[in-house]
Chains A and B, each alone.
Chain A
Amino acid sequence: MCHLRLSNVSKRFGTQEVIRDLDLSIEDGAFVVFVGPSGCGKSTLLRLIAGLEDASAGTIEIDDEDVTQLPPARRGLSMVFQSYALYPHMTVRANIAFPLRMAGLDKAAVDRKVTEAARVLNLTDYLSRKPRQLSGGQRQRVAIGRAIVREPKAFLFDEPLSNLDAALRVNMRLEISELHHQLGTTMIYVTHDQIEAMTMADTIVVLNKGVVEQVGSPMELYRRPANLFVAGFIGSPRMNFINGREAAKLGAEVIGVRPEHITLSPDGGTWRGEVGVAEHLGSDTFLHIKVDGVGQITARAPGEVDLRHGETISLTPEPGKMHLFGKTGEVIRTPEGVS
């Protein structure tokens, strides 16, 4: 239904270049997540695709049709905003019906589609309420409902979950993923939260300072990060980076080891260190260990581990799970081999 292609797209605000010469192709039906730190240009990129910002250079194509100059409404995309952007003076029904009314559909068709969308999103009991009488999650669903009824070629989500509390966020994450499976429509989702990116995406696009750092499936990015930035951004807690003598031994500028790829033992390991803070999550324990000559290392241990502040312990990085990075931060060896 919707194949989206960006070629050489740039966006400047004044003299500041927010998106630089970006090429990206998004397959039909994919769930693509743009992820990156704040200010990396991910929201701007989404707004460029939506048509809310004009590209300074380059072309945007939807289904092989150049839409770079088309206004937002004619691109056939729907967007869910961070603030939901519901119309406060309209009921839920009127909110969901708004795009249909603007498209000039007759009343019976509007009613049918609104009722159907409300059923899918469990909003049937709230149709006559105003947005302010709804909870955050319900507002979110109304915003999604307003996006669904237009039967768009693709959905755009701009950090839709950042205003929700943690528990609700997990719920909505599942609901949106479920919706994607039901509708099979292309979804483009912007977030700064790498957990949302990992759990929801088919394809993750990691952005940094307006440049695509890497594109790939979640596990690909986790297993074979292309550079230091992606390695540090994907995975929680962060990958440990070790430089200096230890790295030089392996012929790299920096070596990276994920906390879950470090084996702990009472003695006899590669490094010895002193346990600092231990974070007990129940299922896991994250230990922050100070290793002389290496630095601060985070390691994952089983939930029941009993280690106290100040104890000494040995660490061994799993030999096959080391990432080696060169001078400019590019990867020179991934765990699976030379890249």
Chain B
Amino acid sequence: MATLHTQSTARLMMSPSVILLLAWMLIPLSMTLYFSFLRYNLLMPGMEEWTGFFNYQYFVTDPAFTAALVNTLVLVASVLVISVGGGLLMALLLDQPFFGRGIVRLLVIAPFFVMPTVSALVWKNMLMHPVYGLFAWVARGVGLEPVDWLSSAPLLSIILIVSWQWLPFAALILLTALQSLDEEQMEAAEMDGASALRRFVHITLPHLSRAITVVILIETIFLLSVFAEILVTTSGGPGYDSTNLSYLIYTQALLQFDVGGASAGGIIAVILANIVAIFLIRLIGKNLET
């Protein structure tokens, strides 16, 4: 009886938070789903009517949609490659003993603590600006024409900014994983005649596989919904060159006031995220077992 009693008390005590969390998720999701089937424009209040799948058809056939979809995937993939690859190199470097290692480690982690809007503004105005930017200054210094990064290579610029933010995260996780590698294993491999490169491939990389999986999974979740960096730098332009799905949904909802179309886009984004998640977990999730 006592356990039964404890259990029901526990349920009762937990229920507020569970209900709150459920409501927090379910109400927006079901309202989005509901809106996505309505013709619902904020400029024409009171004229909402049921339109079936028209919003979906409209959103998907929009030329901006394909561009945004491709941009989203390119952004996610490039940032993953740069942050995991660069993070690995950085972790290997930071794992070596050198003078001032503690301070360097601290500095390397710093970009992760800068909020996205701020770091994007710093990049936009202090680094990539064709007149005041550091890159332009360097380019002029060696006699080259300064590049207007945000208008001539908008997606690349966004990729660079976002990679800069996520590199420390990858480096930090991979560094801690490196530090847990058994020194004797490396020595055994050395005795077994493995060169430094082969030790890295056969011992270090397999040891890091789980940490790399974690980094990829976590980063993908956040990278699919990159928004602030685009809003404060390129505003998705020029054209749709740096528009990703979440930014497209934002323009649909808050610039064109088309709530119905934006809701349909939101549902499509949810489906896309799930497809990516299924692929990822199939592909690398087995590393998380055992």
Contact = CB atoms under 8 A, between A and B. Distances in A.
Interface of A: 50, 52, 71-73, 77-79, 81-83, 85-90, 98-99, 102-103, 146, 150
21 contacts: A50-B191, A71-B190, A79-B187, A79-B191, A82-B184, A83-B184, A85-B182, A85-B185, A85-B187, A87-B188, A87-B202, A87-B203, A88-B207, A90-B206, A99-B192, A99-B193, A102-B189, A146-B188, A146-B192, A150-B192, A150-B193
A97 to B, nearest CB: 10
Residue of B184, B188, B209 ringed by the most chain A CB atoms within 10 A: B188
Contacts of B286: none
The number of chain B residues touching the other chain, given as a range, is: 10 to 19
Given A83-B182, A85-B184, A72 B191 contact: yes
Contact of A79 (B182, B188, B206): B188
A89 B194 contact: no
A102 B188 CA distance: 12
Interface of B: 182, 184-185, 187-194, 198, 202-203, 206-207, 209
Nearest to B210: A89
Residue of A71, A102, A103, A150 ringed by the most chain B CB atoms within 10 A: A102
A82 B194 CA distance: 20
A89 B207 contact: yes
A130 to B, nearest CB: 9
Residue of B184, B185, B193, B206 ringed by the most chain A CB atoms within 10 A: B193
A102 B193 contact: yes
Given A98-B202, A102-B198, A87 B185 contact: yes
A71 B203 CA distance: 19
A77 B192 CA distance: 9
A106 B185 CA distance: 24
B209 to A, nearest CB: 8
B182 A73 contact: no
Contacts of A98: 189, 192, 194, 202
Contacts of B189: 87, 98, 102
Nearest first, the 8 A-B pairs at minimum CB distance are A73-B193, A99-B192, A85-B188, A85-B184, A89-B206, A102-B193, A81-B184, A85-B185
Contacts of A83: 182, 184
A52 B192 CA distance: 12
B265 to A, nearest CB: 43
A73 B203 contact: no
Contacts of A72: 187, 190-191
A98 B190 CA distance: 11
B188 A81 contact: yes
A90 B194 CA distance: 15
Contacts of B192: 73, 98-99, 102, 146, 150
Given A83-B182, A85-B182, A52 B187 contact: yes
Contacts of A90: 206
Given A87-B203, A89-B206, A98-B202, A52 B190 contact: yes
Nearest to B206: A89
B171 to A, nearest CB: 22
A178 to B, nearest CB: 23
Contacts of B203: 87
B211 to A, nearest CB: 13
A98 B193 CA distance: 9
A77 B193 CA distance: 10
B191 A103 contact: no
Nearest to B198: A102
